[in-house]
Homo-oligomer: A and B are copies of this chain.
Amino acid sequence: VTVPAVATSSIPVTALTIDDVLSAAARLRGRIERTPVVRSEALDAATGAHVFLKCENLQVAGSFKIRGALNKLLTLDEADRARGVVAFSSGNHAQGVALAARTVGASAVVCMPTDAPPLKIAGTRAHGAEVVFYDRQRDDREAVARRIAAETGRVVVPPYDDPAVMAGQGTAALELLEEVPDLDVLLTPVGGGGLMAGCGTVMRSRRPGARIFGVEAESANDTYLSLRKGERVTIPPPSTLADGIRVTTPGALTFPVLRTVLTDVVLVSEEEIVAAVRFLAVDAHLVVEATGGLGVAALLGRRVPDQRGARVGVVLSGGNIDARLLASLLS
């Protein structure tokens, strides 16, 4: 396992286990929402499956990201926490870190690109973090974060390539399986792979026979290609609507876990993503951002092998979508 540039975890780099996720769940208990699992008769009818929606769009700060960020902060010792944290993110991880830091009384600096969605910049600030901008074309965001970390002693909270972050994300699947123990299939979006690494580890442990699919947009197929090649592949910057999975290569720490737990990755088109966001809003009455709709896009597009009749858990990863964008997708 390659140690990634910004990995600063104090947890030894080993394979993620169900015990890591159980420990994370114990740390997080009572500090975040236990999000509901929602059923939609219309979605069942449209997909032929029995679908269970784990609503991380209803999580505090609007996505699953608080799980990993807060678990990470809760594993830091007092001295580290007192120096505060730093993160780089254009999206939900920024808000997750900001809120996690506020929850434990730590200060947070978040490096965001100058062209980050205004909604997510505002959300990050609203949760009490200081935002430092970088130029997406000119600056290396990891270098910016590392420099801040070196200058201030702040601990970097990586968006996915960190065992504590992965373990935290896995608590979503733990809760889902507590409510629906007999799932046949699990679907989550795959960007850097933190959510799937955690959730897939839980699913493999608790439901060894279940099938586990990551979902990527067709243009953001780095994990899809990497699984086939057996090593991490780097793709050009993808131009999908699903901004939460616009990464060019799987994480150094997440990929070995994904190789172990994933049945496969399924790809969806941009049209299928839009259809999923619309369907969830109009028929299931849930607002998701594009990335949050990936699992439903796969089901509506009949992309999941043998989906008919299967009991399928889907993590709706987040709901932070701009009002104007949502309006245009609904029109």
Instruction: Spell out A's residues near B (CB within 8 Å).
Output: 33, 36, 38-39, 41, 55, 57-58, 60-62, 278, 281-282, 284-288, 319, 321, 323-324, 326-328, 330-331
A120 to chain B, nearest CB (A): 13
Given contacts A33-B39, A38-B36, contact A285 B57 (CB under 8 A): yes
Closest Cβ neighbor of A53 among chain B residues = B58
Contact of A281 among B41, B284, B323 (CB under 8 A): B323
A319 touches B285 (CB 8 A): yes
Report B-chain residues with C-beta under 8 Å of the C-beta of A321.
282
A284 to chain B, nearest CB (A): 8
Which 6 residue pairs across A and B have the least CB separation, nearest first?
Answer: A36-B36, A285-B319, A327-B330, A285-B287, A57-B285, A327-B327
A117 to chain B, nearest CB (A): 13
Given contacts A285-B287, A287-B287, contact A324 B319 (CB under 8 A): no
Q: How far is the CA of A287 from the CA of B319 in the complex (A)?
A: 12
Closest Cβ neighbor of A327 among chain B residues = B330
Contacts A58-B286, A282-B287, A323-B331 aside, 6 further interface pairs with beta carbons under 8 A come to A33-B39, A36-B38, A282-B321, A285-B286, A285-B287, A323-B330
Contact of A58 among B278, B285, B323, B330 (CB under 8 A): B285
Q: How far is the CA of A281 from the CA of B289 in the complex (A)?
A: 11
Closest Cβ neighbor of A40 among chain B residues = B58
Contact of A285 among B278, B288, B324 (CB under 8 A): B288
Tell me which of A36, A287, A330 has the highest count of chain B C-beta atoms within 10 A of its own C-beta.
A330
Q: How far is the CA of A247 from the CA of B80 in the complex (A)?
A: 61
Q: How far is the CA of A62 from the CA of B323 in the complex (A)?
A: 22
Report B-chain residues with C-beta under 8 Å of the C-beta of A282.
287, 321, 323, 326
Report B-chain residues with C-beta under 8 Å of the C-beta of A328.
327
